[in-house]
């Protein structure tokens, strides 16, 4: 029985890896990290003075209406628009571009152009939502949901465009659902709506997974779709195959190399915190954070820590990481003592002990 269980476990891991690898290879997606600034080219540097206006009245009107910072510095032939809100930044870009083309720049004209640009962006949002629904190929959605989906075109998460991420998750979940003979329609519709809560304003309370589930429920989506959306960040425990596939597809899209950006300072601080936490335990000689903080190898003194204590130490470190630190996805803790390694995998709130690995330190 033990041999059969080990074989089944190994076979299931191999098949899961092949399934995800096959899905990733079949989905071609570009990854370009987005920033919080937009550069508008100017025909000449003389235009900067007209944009600023007498005593700064034009630039004050622009910033007041759009809610975007206009940075007019020494950069030749360019004005930089800075805002964390991609939608506002796009409206400001169109407004400024039209004013430059028109040549008349004064507060009354700025206000008129701003409202024209706002209407144009609203139409672009609607078209982006309709195009996304067409590309997803998973059936029609309520018109309100289509409008909200379009807003995701101007939203980013760690530099990753949320609408592009959503479509990639749709394709990944659909491919994996097909391979497993699960409900492709349910998986793809849930993937389409899983991040729609990110398009809502801060006035709507709750996590984006719960907001997305509430929107799906309000506009008549099936219970299977609603459950998968709500469970994709473990707000509730996943109970269906489609929910688990959505979790896997979401994680695969977000963790692709280059998909998301992270500042070097934050990255180094996170690695140092992981090493410091593990290094504070008694009997620990060296700690190494590997794979961008997704794995920690802890080398302990054989004289101070026996095999049983090594297993307990791995559990303890994993629990403390879960309670006190921020980390991406899964962090594996490996405690090495002489020729034995004890591993603990931390996966979304559940600490899972893995059997000891009898191997030399070099291969552990």
CATH of the domain at 153: 1.10.3210.10
Task: Give which of 106, 109, 38 is closest to 75, Cα–Cα.
Answer: 38
pLDDT of residue 329: 62
pTM tops 0.75, yes or no: no
Considering its fold, how many domains does the chain have in total? 3
Low-confidence ranges of the chain (pLDDT < 70): 28-35, 201-203, 257-266, 292, 326-329, 338-364
Q: Of 255, 274, 296, which one is at a domain's C-terminal end?
A: 255
Judge if 284 and 341 occupy the same domain. Answer: yes
Cβ atoms of residues 284 and 320 within 8 Å: no
DSSP secondary structure code for residue 69 in this structure: E
The whole-angstrom separation of Cα 10 and Cα 271 is 31
Judge if 330 and 358 occupy the same domain. Answer: yes
Domain of 151 in residue numbering reads as: 137-255
pLDDT of residue 351: 42
| Residue 2 covered by a domain | no
pLDDT of residue 258: 63
pLDDT of residue 360: 29
Judge if 237 and 286 occupy the same domain. Answer: no
Cross-strand partners of 299: 286, 336
Cβ atoms of residues 277 and 325 within 8 Å: yes
Any idea how long the chain is?
Answer: 364
pLDDT of residue 357: 40
């Amino acid at each position: 029985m033990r041999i059969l269980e080990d074989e089944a476990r190994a076979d299931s891991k191999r098949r899961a890896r092949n399934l995800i690898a096959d899905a990733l290879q079949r989905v071609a997606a570009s990854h370009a990290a987005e920033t919080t600034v937009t550069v508008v080219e100017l025909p000449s540097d003389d235009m900067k003075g007209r944009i600023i206006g007498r005593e700064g009245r034009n630039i004050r009107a622009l910033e007041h209406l759009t809610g975007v910072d206009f940075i007019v510095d020494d950069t030749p032939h360019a004005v930089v628009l800075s805002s964390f809100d991609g939608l506002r930044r796009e409206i400001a870009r169109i407004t400024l571009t039209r004013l430059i083309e028109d040549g008349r720049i004064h507060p009354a004209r700025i206000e008129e152009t701003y409202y024209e640009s706002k209407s144009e962006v609203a139409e672009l949002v609607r078209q982006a939502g309709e195009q996304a629904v067409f590309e997803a190929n998973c059936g029609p959605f309520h018109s309100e949901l289509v409008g909200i989906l379009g807003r995701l075109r101007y939203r980013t998460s760690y530099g990753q465009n949320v609408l592009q991420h959503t479509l990639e998750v749709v394709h990944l979940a659909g491919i994996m659902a097909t391979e497993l003979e699960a409900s492709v329609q349910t998986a793809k519709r849930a993937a389409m709506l899983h991040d729609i809560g990110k398009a809502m304003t801060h006035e709507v309370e709750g996590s984006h997974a719960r907001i997305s589930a509430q929107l799906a429920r309000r506009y008549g989506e099936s219970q299977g779709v609603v459950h998968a959306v709500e469970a994709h960040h473990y707000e509730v425990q996943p109970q269906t195959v489609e929910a688990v596939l959505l979790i896997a597809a979401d994680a695969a899209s977000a963790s692709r190399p280059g998909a998301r950006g992270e500042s070097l300072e934050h990255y180094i601080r996170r690695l140092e915190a992981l090493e410091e936490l593990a290094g504070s335990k008694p009997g620990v000689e060296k700690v190494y954070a590997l794979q961008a903080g997704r794995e920690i190898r802890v080398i302990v003194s054989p004289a101070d820590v026996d095999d049983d204590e090594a297993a307990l130490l791995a559990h303890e470190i994993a629990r403390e990481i879960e309670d006190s630190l921020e980390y991406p996805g899964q962090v594996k803790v490996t405690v090495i003592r002489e020729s034995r390694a004890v591993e603990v995998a931390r996966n979304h709130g559940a600490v899972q002990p893995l059997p000891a690995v009898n191997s030399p330190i070099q291969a552990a």
